[in-house]
Amino acid sequence: MSQIFAFTGDDELYHGGSIYSNPKEAGSFLSLGHNPVDVFFPCKRARVNAPLVIRGQFGESKKQVSIDSLPDECLYEILRRVPGNQERSTCAGVSKRWLMLLSTIPTEELCSKNEAEIKVMDEDLGIESDGFLTRSLEGKKASDVRLAALAIGSAGCGGLGKLVIKGSNPGCGLTNLGFKAIARCCPSLKVLSLWNVSSIEDESLFEIANGCHRLEKLDLSNCPRITDKALTAIARNCPTLNSISLEDCQNVGNDGLQAIGEYCTNLKSVNIKNCPLVADQGVAKLMSSASFVLKKLKLQGLNITDVALAVIGHYGKVVTDLVLANLQTVNERGFWVMGNAQGLQHLRSLTISSCRGVTDLAIEAVGKGCPNLKQFVLKKGAFLSDNGLVSFAKAAGALESLQLEECHRITQIGFFSLLLNCGPKLKALALSGCFGFKDMVRRFPLPNLSNQLRSVTLSNCPGLGDMTLAMLATLCPQLQYINFSGLPAITDAGILSLIKTCDAGSGLVKVGLSGCANITDSVIRSLANVHGGTLEVLNLYGCGKVTDASLVAIAQDCLVLSELDVSRCAVTDFGIASLARSKSLMLQILGLSGCSMLSDQSLPFLVKLGQSLMGLNLQNCSSVSSTVIYMLVERLVRCDILA
């Protein structure tokens, strides 16, 4: 110990004051006493003077000496020589002071007499700090002390690879000290996600940039104090960064994006949402710098104009997934130029939502400029009409999936014209909330074409009726997945025509009829009889005219059914008993929510069904007692029960 105090070199010992560059940092963690000496020698508890010990003839007095009497510099040197990760974790549990001192020791400064032996042993055990651990802190658990303890404890368990922080402790929130501990002790960190952490500033990310050079993914959401300086530091010091997401970051702008594009040569995914300082210049610099690596781009709620879309269309040479949402300052010309720039040759998935610039002319240009487009989603396309939809279908010959939501100018004419003019690869079509649908009075002649469509979803289109379904059945006999939810106008006639026609194909696999209040047992009996050998999923939620007769037919004919939802249907205990008696039925998911006619007498039948069930919904079953629910929970150990 005397050698430590007598040491005067500069190689190993920290000298010249506290290890904290800012005296206020130490005060955040260390309990300082009232004695002036305590200012320099802080400890966790108030120091109690030891009794005097009388020695020798002169009556010399001497106090008991504790290791906590050492200053931070000496204790630092002692702790960094503690061998082994487990031993260091044990030392961290002694006091807050020891914990914080250990968290300030960089990994490269840890040393021990048997350092080489320990390294070999760690390699044999496969715990070389390769970033195997994932840790998440939420709310009050997110504090500097927690981060310090996490940083120390993860070293011996494979190293911290992913850190997610949601919110922070309002009383003692996160500061730069917590991130300094992560940066110094967790060089293996690859993923950092910070959501709603309003207290952190640029200095926190400076620490991460200086210590975590292997960072691959950065996700910042609602971090208002983070600026372009922090992003620049991350970009310069973390060359392996390949994914970045910025949401509601008010002080992040063009300079930060420029640095990301310039220094991150492996950048593959970018998501920017509601960042008001990001404009055309930032998007242009990002795209021009990362044009040969960037594959996924998502821009939402930004103040960009047609210029930004033109740059994307020109430089997006390897972009495969593109999302453009809520871009109110982008006009028709922007989308038209983006398509005609001919740069999006590898684009496979395109989603456009709440963009006023999507018109018939614009969407046709996009279809022509993206020859490999396979999936297209358009939400709230107020200016897209039937003509634009048909033109797009003709241009996008490789399209496999098309989804339209709240496109109110689309009618039945456009719908069937789309089916007649789409490419041979279109397999899935979904229309939701399109109020322009009004069922036809009479059926018009259709050509003898066999469309290859496999999946159709028509939901919340109140004007759609039986005539539309009958014509759909004629055009698409190969359907396997149908979802008609929220269509109050359809009756048994429309569904029966579809069921009989689809028999020519390979059989229906998934059927959804939730909210179709006029459907009766006749449809379910026909469905079970014709497609019982292939039907796997059946959703009848809210079909109030469906009774036990449907469950009897399902029990007899549906051989491979795994999911059944008859919530809010007119089924009773007899119907559940019929399902339980089936020798071939092996249900995994059963929904009975809101079935008021079920009673406690269903208990033995539900227990028998529970041999295969993984999920059971009994919510709002008013006649089923809590005692029965408790017994089901005890007996059906593998089944998740909602009640």
In the chain, where the domains are located: 2-114, 470-643
Q: Which of 401 and 148 is assigned the larger pLDDT?
A: 401
**Which pLDDT score is estimated for 184?**
80
* Displacement of CA 454 from its chain's centroid (Å): 28
Report pLDDT digits (tens) over 181-198: 888 878 889 999 999 988
Give the pLDDT band of residue 423 (cuts 50, 70, 90): confident
**Which pLDDT score is estimated for 10?**
43
Average pLDDT over residues 27-55: 42
Average pLDDT over residues 562-566: 97
* CA atoms in the 13 A half-sphere facing the CB of 193: 14
What's the mean pLDDT when you consider all of the chain? Answer: 83
**Which pLDDT score is estimated for 428?**
95
Return the SS3 of 642: strand
Name the residue among 210, 189, 177, 1 with its Cα closest to residue 103: 177
**Is the four-CA dihedral 542, 544, 545, 547 of positive or negative sign?**
positive
Q: Report which listed range, 179-183, 375-379, 504-508, is most confident.
A: 375-379
Q: In the numeric block, which tokens belong to residue 107?
A: 């990994």
**Which pLDDT score is estimated for 357?**
94
Say which CATH class 470-643 falls into: alpha beta
Percent of the chain with pLDDT over 70: 76
**Which pLDDT score is estimated for 23?**
44
pLDDT of 245 strictly over 50: yes
pLDDT of 118 strictly over 90: no
What SS3 string covers 298-327?
A: EEECCCCCHHHHHHHHHHCCCCCEEEEECC
What pTM does this model have?
0.80
For residue 60, what is the DSSP state?
B
Give the span between the Cα atoms of 40 and 32, in whole angstroms. Answer: 9
Beta pairing partners, 298: 271, 323
* CA atoms in the 13 A half-sphere facing the CB of 266: 11
Asked whether 325 and 300 are in contact (CB, 8 A), the reply is: yes
Give the pLDDT band of residue 102 (cuts 50, 70, 90): low
Give the span between the Cα atoms of 170 and 142, in whole angstroms. Answer: 9
pLDDT of 120 strictly over 60: no
pLDDT of 91 strictly over 70: no
Asked whether 183 and 176 are in contact (CB, 8 A), the reply is: no
Give the span between the Cα atoms of 431 and 447, in whole angstroms. Answer: 23
Give the pLDDT band of residue 266 (cuts 50, 70, 90): very high
**Which pLDDT score is estimated for 533?**
92
**Which pLDDT score is estimated for 145?**
78
